[in-house]
Structure 1
Amino acid sequence: MHKKLRLGMIGGGQGAFIGAVHRIAARMDDMYELVCGAFSSDPERSKTSGAALGLDPTRCYGSYRELFEKEAALPEDRRVQVISIVTPNHVHFEPARLALENGMHVILDKPMTFSLAEAQELDRIVKSGGKRFCLTHTYTGYPMVKEARQLVASGKLGKIRKVYVEYPQGWLSRDEESGGNKQAAWRTDPHQSGIAGCMGDIGTHAFNLAEYVSGLQVSQLNADIQTIVPGRKLDDDGSILLRFKGGASGVLFATQVAAGEENNIRIRVYGENGGLEWQQEDCNSLVVKWLGRPSEIYRTAEAYTSSFARHNTRTPGGHPEGYLEAFANLYRNVAECIVADMEGRTPSPESLDYPGTAEGVRGMAFIEHAIASGRSDQKWIPFNIQ
């Protein structure tokens, strides 16, 4: 068995929800060991967070720049190999660039960067550097989402005609950002989040899921983007009409002001012969609907599912699994690819099935096109990436 990959984390200190999720995901398959980190922009808070995680105090750094400088000076058999970045959007590009230029693999929380230009530059660095890069679009890690993608790709549904994807949340139905909620504060701050709020935070997940499951790329969009809560600086609601290459059309709906909603991302895809439906609140089920015959319900951990679904199924049938396991599937898949690279092997297609810079660039392009359409009187705009 290969030694554990040495993992470092940037961001995700005490009180940060997503940092803890990444650490749980990294531990689940026992393929990583957290060895260092720069957990906060506050040096003391960073070191306190590292100490709470039981790390060597000399490898709890006051800044990510210090992390790269000092880790690069360590012997190769001790030096960090993989960097997990779980910071606000405006602190994505620079640490990712430094990690890649220092010969480290990167696992980065979405959206990929602060702007499309940064995403394109990061894509260029990854392509020229030979290191693995994973963007944590978590929902692509669910077994039944992978089954849905394989079912569409098999052609059984026929030519795809319609794609509907929605992501309703209610946690920002009030002005949470002014009341001390740090998660709300940075997500609604254009200096930290970028030009989009809701569309950057969860709209990108919906967009990624639509393209991943359907296997199609958006070619045009028409967006109605709104800010519902008075005084909020960024969007918190939006509806977008989509046109895909090949002729399919669809609708993307994302909101953070649907009071009472939690986190029920949902997708429906319809072809000439039938359709399918998946939602996170019943994530172990995939409903497949056929024209002229009864519907079917596919379940995880069953032998009839594809190798991609089985590869990402962790528990026996009937045992719930979800968000943390989907996150862990991304960490596991990229680790399998890194180990295969180190051993001179070709990774399996199932291991290679994780989001990378291509998805990150399209996600940032989606944000910029959606906001541009929302602000424009010319509503339908082409989805072009220069």
Structure 2
Amino acid sequence: MVSSKIRMGMVGGGQGAFIGAVHRMAANLDGQIELVCGAFSSDPEKCVQSGAELFVPAARCYANYQQMMIAEAKLPIEQRMQFVVIVTPNHLHFPVAKAALEAGFHVLSDKPATFDLDEVLALAQIVKKSGRLYGLTHTYNGYPLIKQAKHLVATGRLGKITKIVVEYSQGWLANKDNDSGKQAAWRIDPTKAGISCCMGDIGVHAANLAEYVAGTNISAMCADLGSVVPGRLLDDDGSILLRFDNGARGVLLASQISMGDENNLRLRVYGDKASIEWSQLEPNSLQLKTNDKPTQLIRSGVGEFCAAAQQAMRTPAGHPEGYLEAFANLYLGFAAQIRAFENQQSCSNAEFDIPGIEEAIRGMAFIENSVHASQSNEKWLPFRTTKD
């Protein structure tokens, strides 16, 4: 039986990296995981400095991820890291994941999974061959009321799903002044981000959330993406009409030039009996609406919830939980999944509610399909998950 903390290594996330700090806080929240090593920066000196700030021994602050995989694999099994979290720009996701899996380590990756669809299809084969666990941090799936929303759909409370509307708008890239900042520079660079900025960064989250909650997959798209700020090579805004494989229609809006918007993620799912509405700006509330009764406001911690939602709540009603806690739920689930794996128990991603390689493939397919649909003169393009 595994009776100690799960040991984590990190690639990327050094000094000045926003998302690296978020991952570390989330991993640490429930006391199940400890950071034991890292290749925190491509600059060896900065890597050691970052590690020192995190109390990681200098001997386990590696100059690059290749060195890290080799050195960690040589350590006694009770000391070496058990999984790697990848928090680099997109172009490094695949080579780091490949190196980790082939060295025998589990992988938890920031989204999107890879640089392009070809890479994620190759990654799927590597995951299968390695026999190791692979998880993807689609953060918003971790919110308790998102899990309750999924439960309401799955149990038929909404009836047949007819329409899905998901919006994710930000304003931080509304003008060119931010382009040179660390967080923006790689996202608008096609050599590091891939073929999309906005859809690759936040649109993919919106698509995943819609499919996760509604329990149906996108089957076709009609897209209009563009660069609003002059000179950008990648999209910073987009609107997509969707069709789903259950017959529902939908809309996905994603924008990083919506002046004044913070991190405005909103989901509405309509059925022929009821509908639900959720906003990340008010994550502890879920609206359940019908035509013949007053709107029901479901508040986190008040009343009965499905097991998944209940497990995702940490505090009593009226004590707000948000982004970090949702992120932490993914880490808590992945730690439990690793324990099950090492105890030779059933450990599928579905059992632990962790997005895996299938979601990774659909995410990369969404990005590429949305760009291709926008460039096409055809009204509707089928959603393809292969390069055929």
TM-score range, shorter chain: over 0.9
Trace 1:167-316 onto structure 2 (pairs within 5 A): 167-178=168-179, 180-316=180-316
Change (3 A) 1:45 1:348: closer
Contact conserved, 2:221 with 2:380, CA < 8 A, in 1? yes
Contact conserved, 1:333 with 1:351, CA < 8 A, in 2? no
Does the residue aligned with 1:164 lie in a helix, a strand or coil? strand
| Identity percentage of aligned residues | 53
Amino acid at match of 1:82: F
Contact conserved, 2:169 with 2:255, CA < 8 A, in 1? yes
Query: What corresponds to 2:130 in structure 1?
Result: 129
Does the residue aligned with 2:48 lie in a helix, a strand or coil? helix
Does the residue aligned with 2:78 lie in a helix, a strand or coil? coil
Amino acid at match of 1:43: P
User: Aligned partners of 1:91, 1:113: CA distance in 2, in Å?
Assistant: 8
Pairing 1:163–2:156 present: no
Contact conserved, 1:334 with 1:351, CA < 8 A, in 2? no
Does the residue aligned with 1:282 lie in a helix, a strand or coil? coil
User: Aligned partners of 2:195, 2:293: CA distance in 1, in Å?
Assistant: 46
Does the residue aligned with 1:298 lie in a helix, a strand or coil? strand
Trace 1:293-372 onto structure 2 (pairs within 5 A): 293-346=293-346, 352-372=352-372
User: Aligned partners of 1:166, 1:228: CA distance in 2, in Å?
Assistant: 18
User: Aligned partners of 1:377, 1:348: CA distance in 2, in Å?
Assistant: 41
Amino acid at match of 1:368: E
Query: What corresponds to 1:150 in structure 2?
Result: 151
User: Aligned partners of 1:137, 1:193: CA distance in 2, in Å?
Assistant: 17
Does the residue aligned with 1:240 lie in a helix, a strand or coil? strand
Trace 1:35-54 onto structure 2 (pairs within 5 A): 35-54=36-55
Does the residue aligned with 1:92 lie in a helix, a strand or coil? helix
Deviations 1:144-171 (A, max 9, x none): 0010011000011111000000001000
User: Aligned partners of 2:341, 2:49: CA distance in 1, in Å?
Assistant: 35
User: Aligned partners of 2:142, 2:262: CA distance in 1, in Å?
Assistant: 20
User: Aligned partners of 2:229, 2:84: CA distance in 1, in Å?
Assistant: 36
My pick for the range that moved more, 293-302 or 234-243, is: 293-302
Contact conserved, 2:153 with 2:215, CA < 8 A, in 1? yes
User: Aligned partners of 2:318, 2:133: CA distance in 1, in Å?
Assistant: 34
Does the residue aligned with 2:378 lie in a helix, a strand or coil? coil
Does the residue aligned with 1:171 lie in a helix, a strand or coil? coil
CA drift of 1:117 comes to 0.8
CA drift of 1:177 comes to 4.6
Amino acid at match of 2:70: E
Contact conserved, 1:278 with 1:286, CA < 8 A, in 2? yes
Query: What corresponds to 2:110 in structure 1?
Result: 109
User: Aligned partners of 2:190, 2:350: CA distance in 1, in Å?
Assistant: 37
Deviations 1:349-384 (A, max 9, x none): 986111111111001000101000111111310012
User: Aligned partners of 1:269, 1:191: CA distance in 2, in Å?
Assistant: 36
My pick for the range that moved more, 156-165 or 73-82, is: 73-82
CA drift of 1:91 comes to 0.6
My pick for the range that moved more, 40-49 or 17-26, is: 40-49
User: Aligned partners of 1:102, 1:156: CA distance in 2, in Å?
Assistant: 46
User: Aligned partners of 1:98, 1:108: CA distance in 2, in Å?
Assistant: 13
CA drift of 1:42 comes to 1.1
Query: What corresponds to 1:4 in structure 2?
Result: 5
Query: What corresponds to 1:64 in structure 2?
Result: 65
Superposed CA RMSD: 1.4
Alignment gaps of 5+ in structure 2:
none
TM-score (norm 1): 0.97
Amino acid at match of 1:317: A
User: Aligned partners of 1:251, 1:16: CA distance in 2, in Å?
Assistant: 32
Amino acid at match of 2:232: R
Query: Structure 1 stretches (4+) deviating beyond 4 angstroms?
Result: 347-351
CA drift of 1:347 comes to 5.3
Amino acid at match of 1:273: K
User: Aligned partners of 1:377, 1:329: CA distance in 2, in Å?
Assistant: 42
User: Aligned partners of 1:235, 1:154: CA distance in 2, in Å?
Assistant: 38
User: Aligned partners of 1:303, 1:2: CA distance in 2, in Å?
Assistant: 34
Contact conserved, 2:217 with 2:244, CA < 8 A, in 1? yes
Amino acid at match of 2:38: G
Change (3 A) 1:321 1:351: farther
Contact conserved, 1:41 with 1:62, CA < 8 A, in 2? yes
Contact conserved, 2:70 with 2:103, CA < 8 A, in 1? no
Query: What corresponds to 2:30 in structure 1?
Result: 29
Amino acid at match of 2:87: V
Amino acid at match of 1:145: I
TM-score (norm 2): 0.97
Contact conserved, 2:349 with 2:355, CA < 8 A, in 1? no
